[in-house]
Amino acid sequence: MESNNTASCLDSAVFKISVGLALTALIVITVAGNVVVCLAVGLNRRLRTLTNCFIVSLAITDLLLGLLVLPFSAFYQLSCRWIFGKVFCNIYTSLDVMLCTASILNLFMISLDRYCAVTDPLRYPVLVTPVRVGVSLVLIWVVSITLSFLSIHLGWNSRNETSEANHTTLPCKVQVNLVYGLVDGLVTFYVPLLVMCITYYRIFKIAREQAKRIHHISSWKAATIREHKATVTLATVMGAFIVCWFPYFTVFVYRGLRGDDTVNKTFEAVVLWLGYANSALNPILYATLNRDFRTAYQQLLHCRCASHNAHATSLRLNSSWLSRTQSQEPGQQEEKPLKLQVWSGREAMAPRGATDRKPKLSCTECSSNLLSCCKSLWGLRFLQRHVGGPSEEQPLRTPPSQAV
């Protein structure tokens, strides 16, 4: 959450340029990615949901981190000295701690929101209300401000034996004593990590149970592939969070136990920027896995080639269908009924015209529920399927009672 006080100086000019380019690229990706998320929600009315309130809050937090903290951290890392004064150093380190804490707590709230949507979808609109979402967002910022500006400016994190020595060297680094290191580490990372592991594990168990219920109408190979992809999706979400923040908070707590100067400065800089990298990954992990966000991104970035090709293909199919329909006599269309696959796994008879309008549903399509369930952790289509409404990712099946 904070920069090194005496970050390891980069003696080689080539190495310093390489590190500078890498840090600049990380800052640009962080800012651009989170700006796109905010614009997508602001310009697309379909994305303005309670679930996406946490994603927007996460994007705004990471955007502020990329604008207000990362440029100064990069400059400090490359120059190996702080030249902006002690007052601004306190503001900078407080912003650093506050925004990193808020980012992690937003991820924590997203996991709770998805857990409620998956485990109790019928009561989800009652459990997750605008008032409760607003209270959650306020609580996130109250905790973040308490652990950053309030603690740092009141000296709750300082070590008495090092305050005088650090006054002459003017390092820009948050001091960590035993109490502050344990409290901040538990509240900011370890407790949210434990809860996120439990919630995503429960979500994955529900997804697997749904996959087992449709195995009798799905091929074993297709279901296994879908299950593997769903596992990769959840593992990516949790793996990115753990890989980015676990090393840093381990070092953070260790500094509280053993002292601020007991950790190698180069290693401390690496784990610091590894934590910063999570803010660049969040727009990818928590937005682009949602189809609505991907569509909004394409519209925002004017990537409409795919939609144009799809429209042209649709026109060709429609013209082909019209030509076949006009060439056939009405009596011939009712003469040969065809088999139509339905959701229950049984076969029903349907006229030829019905199958012309809608292609036959294959059984392997049912096995897509597992991957769709896990991808819908960041959308409301999972809720729609449980309530009974149609969704984008799962087409409507004809119920057996309606089959002709």
Digit-coded pLDDT (tens) for 213-253:
766 555 666 656 665 565 666 678 888 999 999 999 999 99
Distance CA 285, CA 279 (A): 10
CB–CB of 99/144 below 8 Å? yes
Q: Which residue in this structure is represented by tokens 């990380």? A: 26
Mean pLDDT across the chain: 75
The pLDDT tens digits for 343-383 are 333 444 444 444 444 444 343 443 444 455 445 444 444 44
Supply 206's token pair.
Answer: 């529900």
Domains in the chain, start-ordered, CATH in brackets?
13-299 (1.20.1070.10)
Long-range contacts of 250-253 (CB under 8 A, 24+ apart): 252/1, 252/176, 252/181, 252/184, 252/185, 253/181, 253/182, 253/185
What angle in degrees, to the nearest 10, is found between the helix axes of 191-213 and 220-258?
170
Distance CA 99, CA 311 (A): 44
The pLDDT tens digits for 13-25 are 888 899 999 999 9
For residue 333, name the pLDDT band (cuts at 50, 70, 90): very low
Q: Is the dihedral of CA 179, 184, 186, 187 positive or negative?
A: positive
The pLDDT tens digits for 113-138 are 888 888 888 898 999 999 999 999 99
pLDDT, position 245:
94
pLDDT, position 273:
94
pLDDT, position 318:
56
Whether residue 202 has pLDDT greater than 70: yes
Report pTM: 0.71
pLDDT, position 143:
95
For residue 164, name the pLDDT band (cuts at 50, 70, 90): very low
- Cα angle for residues 56, 62, 64 (degrees, 5° grid): 100
Most confident of 103-107, 235-239, 293-297, 336-340: 103-107
The pLDDT tens digits for 168-196 are 455 788 889 999 999 999 999 999 999 99
Whether residue 396 has pLDDT greater than 50: no
Distance CA 29, CA 31 (A): 6
pLDDT, position 279:
94
Helices (H), 170-259: 178-185, 191-213, 220-258
Supply 172's token pair.
Answer: 């820009």
CB–CB of 282/59 below 8 Å? yes
pLDDT, position 13:
83
pLDDT, position 139:
96
**74 vs 383, higher pLDDT:** 74
pLDDT, position 385:
46
pLDDT, position 46:
87
| Percentage above 90 pLDDT, the chain | 36
Distance CA 45, CA 34 (A): 18
For residue 204, name the pLDDT band (cuts at 50, 70, 90): confident
Helices (H), 120-159: 124-127, 130-145, 151-154
Phi, psi of 341 (to 5 degrees): -75, 130
Whether residue 67 has pLDDT greater than 50: yes
DSSP letter, residue 338: E
Whether residue 209 has pLDDT greater than 60: yes
| Percentage above 70 pLDDT, the chain | 63
